[in-house]
Structure formats: structure tokens, C-alpha cells
Structure 1
Amino acid sequence: MKTTRLAQLASLAVVGSMALAACGSDNTTGTTSAEGSSSSASASKSAATECFSGTLTGEGSSAQKNAIEEAIASYTEACKDAKISYNATGSGAGVKQFIAGQVNFGGSDSALKKEGKDGAKSEVDQAAEMCGSPAWNIPMVTGPVAIAYNVKGIDKLTLTPNVAADIFAGKITTWNDAAIAEVNKGVTLPATPIKVFFRSDESGTTDNFTKWLHAAAPEKWTQDPGKKWTGSGEGKPQNAGVSEGVKSTDGGVSYVEWSYAKDNKLGMALIDNGGGAVELTSESVGKAVEAAKADGEGNDLRLELDYATKEAGAYPILLVTYELVCSKGKDAEKQKAIKAFLKHFASADVQKSLEEIGYAPLPKAMEDKVLTAIDAIS
């Protein structure tokens, strides 16, 4: 499925890129765009899909790039007059572009911040000002974060939060360190130097990964979580950059969204939060998402994830990518288009298809809430 749809995207990318340029973004790195197909298969799908005619632009999270590519391709395959572009520049850029009104929707791996810094208005307040109504955080993509590694001689690796914190803080510097050996008994570990790669751009993946370190290893990782990296290592831009850094370096390790680890055939550590080593799977991530608490009001569906969970079988390092939307926009037709596309993105069929490329579908209870919120956009 992915190969077919990405081929379609490649052949039609020019139209979407022009639409995004017209919207005022200077950074076109990672832009995904597509125009609908007129095939008979598309016609049959369009009966079940609410279509719009025109353009939509979005920007932000690179963690959801592969997922939104799938959703855009399947939507525009059914709706030939729809043109959708998404610029995967990172969550920080997505929030800024959304607040500035430069895109129709944003993508962020962290909900809009309720508190401002140094006397500045909060992201929530800035977004509401731009929209003329409250902005909503709508969870759409569940993206597990893998601790991805490339070490000759290590086929299976388990890490605890404390050991991971020391690795990413630069305190553990070789793969045969006693602390790593302690949680990998029976595994022959090489003396290869550890090479940490981190996101050089402001990133929701960084935010969520450091939230896990801070919550699960508070004595080791004392820095406040945030979108800007405060540990050690070498910076690379976006998920693609850190994945390539690890792939090309014996001893390399990074935190990266699951689909990128899979695409680059990187090793992925099992995580032991205290309830036993857990492999990253759709099921283990779904178990963690189901335990998340609501942290918003009404249709603002921000979530509070439990990064320190010790529940057996729950994979604790994950992010939820939110689509940032105006609850009531100034352009009614554009709001209808956003509703139509997001309803498709949140549908059970599309969510299920995302498993093939390294995402976990929204749990049923969350899917129902998301669809209710989307219906309320006006």
C-alpha cells in the first residue's frame, strides 16, 4: 500500500508544493502533497468519503509525516478535486505557522502550551487570537518513540530508564558498560563507543522523550522536559536526520519515531520501566494510550500520558500527534474542508492501515471522541 501511494504522491507533488508556497512558508523540506486520481477505484471510494474541492495546507510534526502521507494519498485518490499539502518541518515550526495563520492546520507532538514564558502570551492564547475562537488539539496519530541503535554484535537490547538517561546524558560511553551489561545478562556486548544523535530542531519527539526520561528516571534526568534537547550528542534535523545518523554509524543511538526506525531497519531497544522488558508493538503502545488521562475541556482532546507506568506489557515511550485546528474558523469553506479530511484521517480503515508503516491506531474510545470533536468544527 505504501509503495503505491507514495508513487502517486511523487508524481503529483508539484501541485501541492505550489499551494504551500502560496501560503507563505519558506521551508519546503519534507512537503507532502497530492492531487486526486480519476481512476474507477477512486470513484468507488468517493461514495463513502466526504469530499471537498480546493486546497488545504498543513505544517509541523515530522513524526506523523509517513502517516499523513497515507491519509492524504487515500483521500485525494477518492476526491479528485482536493489538493492537500503537508510540510514536515517539526512540531515547533508547526505551532508557529499555525499561530501565525500561515497554514490551515498544524501538526504537533505536544499540545499547545497553556503557560507563556517571560511574560509572553501562551500558545493557547495566541492560537485563540488568530482563530477568533478556541483552538483545539485533536489527537490523530499515535507514534511510539523507539530508542533506535546500530551496534554490530547486538541483536537484542533492553534498557531501563536510568541506563537510558545516562546514555543520553553522555555518562555511559561504551556499549559494554557494566550498567548496560547488568540489564542484558547473557548478551555479549562490544566495547564500541556510543554515539548519541539528537534532534537539532525544536521537536515534539524530543519533548515526549525527555518527558519519559524525567518521569521514569527523575534522579538521573533532572533537566526539565522540552522541545529543545539538553543532553549530549550530535544534532541532526528531524526524524530523517537522526535516523540516517544512526544507520551510518556503528555504535549510533537515538530516539526516533517508530516508522523511521522500521524504514531504516534499525535495532529497537526493549524498555523495562519496572514491570518487565516490553517490546515496541501496536498492542503494547495501545495499552499505554488507553491509560492516558484527559487534560482538556470539551472537544479540546489534549492527553496526559503516564510515562512512568510500570504496567506489564505497556510500552511507555510514545507521543500523540495532535492536529491543531480552529474550533470555529473565519473561512467557513476551509473549515468544511478540514473537517472532511480529518474525518477521513480518523476513520477506522485509515487508522488500521497506519499499522503497516509503524503507527498504532487510535483506541476505539479515543477514536469516537476524535470523530465527535471533528464533527463540532465549524
Structure 2
Amino acid sequence: MTARQNKIVAFAALGLAGALGLAACGGGTDNAAGGQNGGASDNGGATSGALSGQLAGAGASSAEAAQAAWTQSFIALNPEAQVTYDAVGSGAGREQFLNGGVQFAGSDAALTPEEITQSANTCQGGKAFNVPVYISPIAVIYNLEGVDNLQLSPQTIAGIFSGQITKWNDPKIAADNPDATLPDLAIVPVHRSDDSGTTENFTHYLSETAGDVWTHGEVETWPVQGGQSGDGTSGLVKVVEGGNGTIGYADASKAGNLGVAKIKVGEEFVEYSPEAAAKAVELSPRAEGREEGDIVVELDRKLTDPSAYPLVLVSYLVLCDTYQDQATADLVKGYANYITSQEGQQASQEAAGNAPLTEKLSTDAKASIDKIKAAS
């Protein structure tokens, strides 16, 4: 099976009781109870006090700050509801969802058609689907004393992370940075130790833009021996922060005070921004072969428009179209509609600096979410 095509402020702790042991996506009435979804509004139908019950989700650590903002705001609107999110990584989140351990997942790589087929049991005979909820640049982060403005072409990035470029004063890095004084220092590439949608997006970028150098393909599990690793986005960032000469890749919301390289797009070196990430998504087509309502963006990594930043991820909310009971279906629908609403997208933008969904994506996502139903 081929691989899938696909700045931060502090935030408060959730302070909620864990609900990760809840039943499957269609958990029974012991796990979810509440009123009807309040219908379309600026907050996606999450009318104050209208919904109650418990939901558990797990997945991408890239969207951890966004999910914290979404859960807190949704609970403020619906005090009788509890929503938890465990940032275990995209791969583990999808696995928990497909095994019925959580009622939704967050993933930086959309479910494959095969995984959607696999979801029938979890989804009460229905199927899972993907809706985009979070658009964010992937930053090439580094910690290199004396170098504050680093520029890297895709070929150079690929050379570093494949282990072919091992010193910071390598001629290829020097060619990208003619005005920089680069040290004779070993490069320490840092990768994710867990199965990661960020890794999958990063390696997809390398494969598409520097396939002659990066020969490992688009993968979720890091394929190169050597270097150092960190568990989850925060773990990788800590490893980069802890050394000199380290370089890694992470959702830009977690870059903190680390250096962030400009990447070459066309003939210019481009700095990441939410706007440039959104532009890359706008210029990319929808994935072909998907069923109606399953919304996946086929990211174009080879864009040459310098207003776009093609090293971007789109994180998806993975949901069932059918849940076991109406209360669970209503609560999932209410939470998902809140996330994709203008208010929800503003909340995550303030917390994580991501780019809000375009009006088209938001409208299409709501149409998919509104089809969620109960099996009984």
C-alpha cells in the first residue's frame, strides 16, 4: 500500500476528568447524553448549555494547543459537556479511533481508503471520514550558536536529514547562506521517535522537492538511522533546544525561541507564516478518488509562488458518520461544528498561530459533519 498523500502562546491545562477509557466511537448512553445540536451559528451550533456528556479524542501533537483551545471554549459554552484530547501522535490517535478507544481522532495524515473500510465496525456499520480543521506551517527548527538567519533549499534539507550533509560549514549549506559564518560543527538531525503525521508531511515534502536526495519516500515512521529523536512534537523540540548544532522539524506553533530556517520556494527563500501556509493549501487540489464528504487536500509541495509556504500540514478531524446513540452523535456533531466554525477557528488561531480554514473548506466540512447520525 502506498503512503498517504496529504508561533505558540501558553495555554491553560484542561483540568478535566479523563475520559480516555470510554467506549467506541459509538459509545453507549452511559458515556454520552445530551440535547440536540443547536443548528448553524457563529459557534457552529455549540449553543450555551445545549449539550452534555463525555467525548474522548486522541491524535496529532501538532494540534495540541488548538485542541486545548477548542475543548476549553466548547466546554465554556456547554458546561455539562466534557471533551478530552490526548496528544499521542497521529498514528496512535488513528489506531485508538479504529480500535474503538476514542470517539474522534486528530491526524496530520488523513485516513486512507483502506483505514476507512476498516472503520465499519467502530462506526456502527457506517464509515469514518476526514475533515480538515487545522492548517499550519511545519518549521525547520535549529539551535546553532552565532547563526540567526538560516536559509535552506529543499535539496540541502534532504541532504541534512538523510545523513549526507554532516557539517554546518558544508559547501551546500554555505551556498544557500553566502553571508553567514557557518561553524565547523557536526550537524545533529532530530526526528520524531513515534509514528507521526508531521513526519509524513515532512518526508512527503522532501520526496516531492528533492527526491534525488531523499530516497526514503513519504513515511510516517522515521527511516534513517543516526541522529537523535524525541517523542511527540514537544519531545522533539526539547531535544533541539538541548543541543548546539541540532536541527529538526515541528509544527510552527511549537518553535518557541528556536531558530527557524527560511526554505527555498521557486527562486526565493521564504519565511513561514500562517498566511503563506493557507496560500499553499488554497493552491492545492482536493485528493481524487474520495467519497463525497471525505475532504482531503492533495498538498502541492512543488509550488514556486513565493507567497506560498509548501512545507505545510493539514490536520484532520477523523469522525464516524454513525454513532451508537443520538446523544453521542449530537455531541460529536456539536464539537466538530464548533471547531470548524468562525469562532472555533479564531480560538485556535489565537492559541496556536495557525491559519484559519477558508470559507469554502469550512462550509464543506460543516456539510459533512451535519450528516452524522445515530444507529438507533
Which residue is equivalent to 1:283? 275
Q: What SS does structure 2 have at the residue aligned with 1:287?
A: helix
Q: Does 2:356 correspond to 1:361? A: yes
Amino acid at match of 1:334: T
Which residue is equivalent to 1:344? 338
Q: What SS does structure 2 have at the residue aligned with 1:98?
A: helix
Deviation of 1:2 (Å): 5.7
Between 1 and 2, higher relative CO (CA 8 Å, sep ≥ 6) is seen in 2
Q: Does 2:75 correspond to 1:76? A: yes
Which residue is equivalent to 1:141? 134
Which residue is equivalent to 1:40? none
1:6 to 8, 12, 21: 12
Q: Give unpaired runs (5+ residues) of structure 2.
A: 1-7, 25-42
* Contact 1:146 1:268 (C-alpha < 8 Å) held by counterparts: yes
2:368, 2:270 → 1: CA distance?
33
Deviations 1:79-110 (A, max 9, x none): 11010111111111111111111111111111
CA, structure 1 residues 343+174, in 2 after alignment: closer, same or farther (shift >3 Å)? same
2:9, 2:229 → 1: CA distance?
29
Output aligned runs, 1:193-232, within 5 Å.
Answer: 193-231=186-224, 232=226
2:111, 2:177 → 1: CA distance?
39
The total of aligned residue pairs comes to: 342
Deviation of 1:211 (Å): 0.2
Deviation of 1:51 (Å): 3.5
Amino acid at match of 1:159: L
Which residue is equivalent to 1:112? 111
Q: What SS does structure 1 have at the residue aligned with 2:250?
A: strand
Which residue is equivalent to 2:93? 94
Q: Percent identity?
A: 36
1:2, 1:172 → 2: CA distance?
34
1:108, 1:223 → 2: CA distance?
22
Which residue is equivalent to 2:32? none
Amino acid at match of 1:326: C
Which residue is equivalent to 2:315? 321
Q: Does 2:337 correspond to 1:331? A: no
1:300, 1:73 → 2: CA distance?
27
Amino acid at match of 2:366: L
Deviations 1:261-283 (A, max 9, x none): 1xx31111111032411110011
1:250, 1:179 → 2: CA distance?
20
Q: What SS does structure 2 have at the residue aligned with 1:313?
A: coil
Q: Does 2:258 correspond to 1:274? A: no
CA, structure 1 residues 169+75, in 2 after alignment: closer, same or farther (shift >3 Å)? same
Q: Indicate the RMSD between aligned Cα atoms, in angstroms.
A: 1.9
CA, structure 1 residues 47+85, in 2 after alignment: closer, same or farther (shift >3 Å)? closer
Q: Which 10-residue stretch deviates more, 264-273 or 83-92?
A: 264-273
1:258, 1:266 → 2: CA distance?
10
Q: Give unpaired runs (5+ residues) of structure 1.
A: 25-44, 115-121
Amino acid at match of 1:256: A
Relative to its length, the structure with more helix (as a share) is 1
Which residue is equivalent to 1:35? none
